[in-house]
Amino acid sequence: MKQYQNILVNALVNLGDVVLTTSAVALLRQAYPGAKITMLVKPVCREAVENNPVVDQVLVFGYQAKKKSLKDMLIMAERIRQCHFDLSISFDRKLRPALLAWLARIPVRVGPDRVFDDKASRVTWLYTDVIHITHDLETTLQAETYQSIVRGFTGLKLHARPVFARISQEAELSAAALLSQLPQHKKNIALCVKGTFALKTWPKEYFVELVDRLSAAYDAAFFIVGGPADRAYASEVSSAMHVPVANFCGETSLTSLAALLGKSDLLVTVDTGGAHIAAATGVPMLTIYGCTSPERWHPISSNARVLTSHEPCCPCKCREHECPSQPRPDCLYHITPTQAFDVCRELLDAEHLVYEQAEE
């Protein structure tokens, strides 16, 4: 197998996907142990791969998805060209990362023929090596799809797990400071109540009922996590609760979020990027799926459980107003607080959960 010394990994994808791509980067590290590996990511994802055991350097490209700035592209392409990469691997089949690698004159440019959907794309014309993905995307873990790109190019037969950034002492102290704001209880339970779109968001009244049942059964403190944009919705949810629920949305960095969840006894979350960060910490967690598929997006952790209602119309890509069962989408409302409580009780009462480093 030819050896490469300076590898660029294009991962201009969303946070959860960036975390999942690190499993494929771990394979690259095994295939080319002497290589320098650089990841190209969006600004919001930077912290997930900085100070990461499988990443040597991070390049950040900030852009607006629908804004076509030739100047910004040329500046970034020149910056990449000056790094003298000998191999580029893309985990996204979009034009922007493929064009950057081509403009930067990277001699070997690897990309998939499919990664998020089955639509054909002329973007593959910009690759020197196109990796054919043979499996069904919807029934295969997305991390395995990313790893298939690396396995297809390198010939490796191995599998790996996502690898999150190392948790700094500063992040640990930040997490401890947030936990100190909670009332003293035997257990700390985290909630992530808002997805990136409505058909991922479990009903707020269901979260209220679940917290009522958990607080009746356990001596627990509750808090909500999420980004700054989630804070207003989280306040609506916490205001509806019958017990105190702290709102920590927007108060954590990615690494302090990981530290905070790692110190928690349980996380109940909707399908969001934070779920994949949580999985890397080993926290006992329940992820609730609406229109998306746990077969594809299941958090990779022995302590992760999922709930889905297996609707015949799911997975779907409907917008909220297009859902035929609005205003109470079946995929969300058919997952009951009783079902969620039963899974939470299983996790909270378990005597031997496996806490493991998310790297093999």
- How many Å apart are CA 149 and CA 20, to the nearest integer? 13
pLDDT over 90 at 133, yes or no? yes
Domain ranges of the chain: 6-154, 169-349
The pLDDT, as a whole number, for residue 357 is 43
Q: What is the mean pLDDT of residues 211-224?
A: 97
Contact 222/242 with Cβ under 8 angstroms?
Answer: no
Q: State mean pLDDT over 280-297.
A: 96
Query: What's the token pair of residue 56?
Result: 């040597």
Whether the pTM exceeds 0.85: the reply is yes
Per the document, the length of the chain is: 360
Predicted confidence (pLDDT) per residue in 25-64, tens digit:
999 999 999 999 999 999 999 999 999 999 999 999 987 7
Q: What digits encode the pLDDT tens for the residues 261-277? A: 999 999 999 999 999 99
Give the Cα separation of 321 and 326 in Å (integer): 7
Distance CA 74, CA 227 (A): 31
Q: How far apart are CA 30 and CA 18, in angstroms?
A: 19
Place of tokens 């590996």: 37
Percent of the chain with pLDDT over 70: 96
Res. 292: pLDDT tops 90: yes
Q: How does pLDDT run across 301-359, given as a tens digit for each residue?
A: 999 999 999 999 999 988 888 898 989 999 999 999 999 999 999 999 986 565 544 34
User: Among 50-54, 81-85, 92-96, 282-286, where is mean pLDDT lowest?
Assistant: 92-96
CATH architecture of 169-349: 3-Layer(aba) Sandwich (3.40)
Strands laid side by side in the 304-307 sheet: 245-247, 220-224, 187-192, 266-270, 285-288, 304-307
Q: In this structure, which CATH number among 3.40.30.10, 3.40.718.10, 3.40.50.2000, 3.40.50.300 belongs to the domain 6-154? A: 3.40.50.2000
Per CATH, 6-154 and 169-349 having the same topology is answered: yes
Residue 320's pLDDT is what? 84
CB neighbour burial string for 63-89, b if at least 16 within 10 angstroms, e if fewer = eeeeeeeeeebeebbeebeeeebebbb
User: What are the residue ranges of helices labelled H in the chain?
Assistant: 15-31, 46-49, 70-81, 95-103, 142-154, 169-179, 204-217, 231-240, 254-262, 273-281, 294-297, 330-333, 337-349
Of 302, 326, 331, give the one whose Cα is nearest residue 314: 331
**Does residue 304 contact residue 285 with C-beta atoms inside 8 Å?**
yes
Q: Cβ(340)–Cβ(305) under 8 Å?
A: no
Residues paired with 268 in a beta bridge: 191, 286
Q: Answer yes or no: is pLDDT of 68 > 70.
A: no
Q: Is the pLDDT of residue 155 over 50?
A: yes
Rounded Cα–Cα distance for residues 255 and 173 (Å): 11
- Tell me the pLDDT of the chain averaged across its residues: 94
Beta bridge partners of 7: 37, 87
| pLDDT recorded at residue 359 | 40
Q: Which residue's entry shows tokens 């707020």?
A: 204
Is residue 180 over pLDDT 90?
A: yes
Closest CA to 150 of 163, 131, 136: 131
DSSP single-letter state for residue 94: S
| Residue 110, pLDDT score | 98
As a whole number, mean pLDDT of residues 113-120 equals 91
